[in-house]
Chains A and B, each alone.
Chain A
Amino acid sequence: MGEVVQALVYALTVGSVYALVALGYSLIFSATRIVNFAQGTLVVFGGYLAWWLYDQAFDAGTSIVWVLLLVVVLAGLTGVVVYLVAVAPLGRFDPKTNVGWLVTTFGAGIVIQELVAKKISSEGQTVPDLVESLFGWRGSVVRDVAIGPSDVVLVAIAVLVVVGLELLQSHTRFGLAFRAVAQDRPAASLMGINPTTMILLAFFLAGALAGLAGILVAPRLGIRFNIALNLGVAGFVAAVIGGLGSPRGAIVGGLLIGLVEGVVGVLSDRPDAYRPLAVFLVFVVILALRPTGLFGRRIEEKV
């Protein structure tokens, strides 16, 4: 029993990281109809940046909160740079027939990774836990189930971000404008909305969320380059399962993937071998039943 609950805790935590990554994909897809394949690398970038700032750049004793804020902003700006360097130069194109963005965003991810390896570190690193440093809580064991500070923070932040984004989209002028651009760019621009503003915002938010995921996941999983691909793929699968474009879909998708991985961890003695297979199966089944994902809408193409 304890083992199963422990797997659930893992599922929630890892699933929340996937949700944060998935939200990034979702926002960018909404605004541009492209998928930013640098998203997974941005998480790792955020993690390394946090380590570098905390361990190397700042004086000892600087609060981790400053590091967090700085990482979120810098990762957001890096997201904008990815847009300006890898997407904007492609000009006006139909994202469905012209897939240059696939190569350029993936390439941007590789460049970021190489830069981090050269300038920051190529070793595995970690950063102190946010809650632990702030409140001194190092985790508890409740009936044989260990709950760490990262677990709590990750789940809480993922839920907060999703609720925040949903409220923003349904209750603010800016959120409404974002949805208008997502659905019908020409019509939105005739309403006086500048689509480029919304696209830049989407890339900034996606980068910021990746940075947030990076700094939060670092204490739990450690930060290494080889988790970029895994996070990138799992986050993408989560976004598609939940329905690209839907914040609540991103969190449901993320938690679902986390859960599937957790269940495999309990059932199998070789979980690393079977996890991708199980995730892929769930992916295929859900898309077969609902091609637009759980919360997705069919996207109408207007000529």
Chain B
Amino acid sequence: MSPLLDVRDLHAGYGPITVLRGIDLTVEDGEIVVVLGANGAGKTTLLRALSGMIAGKGSATVDGNSVLGRRPDQIVRLGVAHVPQGRGTITDLTVDENLQLGAYARKDGEIEADKERWFELFPRLRERRTQTAGSMSGGEQQMLAIARALMARPRLLLLDEPSLGLAPLVTQEVFRSLAQVNAEQGTAVLVVEQNANLALDVGNRGYVLETGGIVAAGSAQQLQQDEAVRKAYLGY
């Protein structure tokens, strides 16, 4: 069976600047895959190319459908939801409205039920459902961003540094929730993280990205035990 996400020899960048120079990466159905890498390695660029925010060359398919050359709103309909670095919620709209828009591409009648489900997972969002996204704390906004993406009922969730700017306890909470969603819904996750320990704890596999290329790959345990990875990304 071919992987849910299959990336081969992906090149992407900004105008004349090439950032990604031939990325090979896969995510299987229901898997959590972590991408580690230093600042400027190209992690955000990778997710942007996969969600159609920037152009890419090579091949990248979801369920056999190429995402390259498609617009972001079309890629959402292929089952990919991207939580960009910096959250990607609409700050002037309320929590409720943001969740509603998260389900924009859906046509079924279970949108309210799904909202309830994510309110169960993130009770603080329920308390603040009529508050604007911009008036919430960083952690609450991150939860909203994730819940917003889940409202699309994605098969693949792309997460860009969900821990950025969050207190360690909140980060743990976010990762626990992710693991729960993954276990219950079978949603595959491709997560970019600097907080490598936490990410590898919940992840199945990982890749290490350096200056636009994959330099190491393996199971979460293998990466956690790898000398070079530990020194560079785990800090011990």
Interchain CB contact (< 8 A) of A190 among B77, B82, B92:
B82
With an 8 Å Cβ cutoff, the count of chain B residues facing the other chain is 26
Indicate which residue in B51, B73, B84 contacts A194 across the interface (CB closer than 8 Å): B73
Q: Is residue A138 contacting chain B, with contact meaning CB distance below 8 A?
A: no
> What is the bound-complex CA distance between A180 and B73, given in angstroms?
13
Minimum C-beta distance from B204 to chain A (A): 25
List chain A residues, Cβ under 8 A from B45.
Answer: none
- The answer on a CB contact under 8 Å between A191 and B92 is no
Question: Is B76 an interface residue when CB atoms closer than 8 A count as contact?
Answer: yes
Bound Cα distance from A297 to B134, whole angstroms: 13
Partner of A187, one of B77, B90, B100, B152: B90
Given A176-B97, A186-B53; A193-B90 close (CB under 8 Å): no
Do residues B100 and A173 form an inter-chain contact, with CB atoms below 8 A? yes
Q: Which of A188, A192, A297 contacts B90 (CB 8 A)?
A: A188
In the bound complex, residues from chain B placing their C-beta under 8 Å from that of A297 are 92
Q: Report A-chain residues with C-beta under 8 Å of the C-beta of B77.
A: 192
In the complex formed, the residue of B with least CB distance to A300 is: B91
Interface residues in B97-130 (C-beta closer than 8 Å to A)? 97, 100-102, 104-105
Docked-complex contact A177 and B84, CB < 8 angstroms: no
What's the A-B contact tally at a CB cutoff of 8 Å?
67
Given A173-B104, A183-B90, A183-B92: A191 and B97 within 8 A (CB)?
A: no
Report the bound CA distance from A193 to B76 in whole Å: 9
In whole angstroms, what is the CA distance A191 to B86 when docked?
A: 15
Q: Is A184 an interface residue (CB 8 A)?
A: yes
Report chain A residues within 8 Å CB of B89. 187
A187-B104 Cα distance, complex, nearest whole Å:
13
Partner of B148, one of A173, A191, A195: A191
Is the CB–CB distance between A176 and B101 below 8 Å? yes
Given contacts A177-B104, A180-B93, contact A194 B71 (CB under 8 A): yes
Interface centre among B86, B88, B89, B100 (most CB of A within 10 A): B88
B93 to chain A, nearest CB (A): 7
B72 contacts partner chain A, Cβ-Cβ < 8 Å: yes
Q: Give 16 pairs: A residue, B residue, CB < 8 Å, sorted on A.
A: A176-B100, A176-B101, A177-B101, A177-B104, A179-B93, A180-B90, A184-B91, A186-B72, A187-B84, A189-B52, A190-B53, A191-B73, A192-B77, A192-B104, A192-B105, A193-B101
- Measured CB to CB, the residues of A under 8 A from B are 173, 176-177, 179-180, 183-184, 186-195, 297, 300, 302
